[in-house]
Amino acid sequence: MLPLSLRQLQVFESVARHLNHSRAAAELFLSQPAVSMQIKQAEQTIGMPLFEQAGKQIFLTEAGRELLHYARSILSLMQEMELVFGEMKGLEHGHLSIAVVSTANYFMPKLLAQFIQAHPKIKVSLSVANRDAVLKQLAENAADLAIMGQPPEGADMVAEPFMQNPLVVIAAPAHPLACISNIQPHQLVNETFLLREQGSGTRGVVERFFSSHTLPLPAHMAMDTNEAIKQSVQAGIGIGIISSHGIELELETQRLKILDVAHFPIVRHWYIVHRREKRASVAAQEFESFLLKEARRVESTISPPPAKKKINGPSR
pLDDT tens-digit series, residues 224-270: 888 899 999 999 999 999 988 889 889 999 999 999 999 999 988 89
What mean pLDDT, rounded, does the chain reach? 85
- Select from 131, 145, 146, 237 the least CA-distant residue to 191: 237
Whether 138 and 287 map to the same domain: the answer is yes
Kindly report the CATH number assigned to the domain that includes residue 104: 3.40.190.10
Whether 242 and 281 map to the same domain: the answer is no
Whether 291 and 142 map to the same domain: the answer is yes
Asked if residue 76 is part of any domain, the answer here is yes
To the question of pTM greater than 0.85 for the whole model, the response is no
Which domain does 76 fall in, by range?
A: 6-86
Whether 219 and 96 map to the same domain: the answer is no
Domain count, the chain: 3
Whether 58 and 142 map to the same domain: the answer is no
Whether 55 and 76 map to the same domain: the answer is yes
Q: Which of 25-29, 65-69, 293-297 has the lowest mean pLDDT?
A: 293-297
Averaged pLDDT, 190-203: 84
Whether 140 and 278 map to the same domain: the answer is yes
State residue 121's pLDDT score: 80
Question: Which residues lie below 8 Å from residue 130, measured CB to CB, with a gap of 6+?
Answer: 101, 102, 224
Whether 154 and 275 map to the same domain: the answer is yes
pLDDT surpassing 60 at residue 278: yes
CB atoms within 10 A of CB 156: 12
- Select from 104, 12, 91, 103 the least CA-distant residue to 58: 12
Whether 183 and 254 map to the same domain: the answer is yes
Whether 112 and 187 map to the same domain: the answer is no
Q: Rounded to whole angstroms, how far apart are CA atoms 13 and 10?
A: 5
Longest dimension (CA), the chain: 76
Confidence of residue 316 (pLDDT cuts 50, 70, 90): very low
Asked if residue 295 is part of any domain, the answer here is yes
Asked if residue 315 is part of any domain, the answer here is no
In our burial notation (b when 16+ CB lie closer than 10 A, e otherwise), range 137-147 reads bbeebebbbbb
Confidence of residue 93 (pLDDT cuts 50, 70, 90): low
Rama region for 21: left / alpha / beta (φ>0; ψ in -120 to 50; rest) = alpha
Asked if residue 312 is part of any domain, the answer here is no
Kindly report the CATH number assigned to the domain that includes residue 38: 1.10.10.10
Asked if residue 316 is part of any domain, the answer here is no
In our burial notation (b when 16+ CB lie closer than 10 A, e otherwise), range 57-81 reads ebebeeebeebbeebbeebeeebee
Whether 76 and 124 map to the same domain: the answer is no
State residue 245's pLDDT score: 83
Alpha helices in 94-225 (DSSP H): 108-118, 131-139, 201-212
Whether 170 and 283 map to the same domain: the answer is no
Asked if residue 308 is part of any domain, the answer here is no
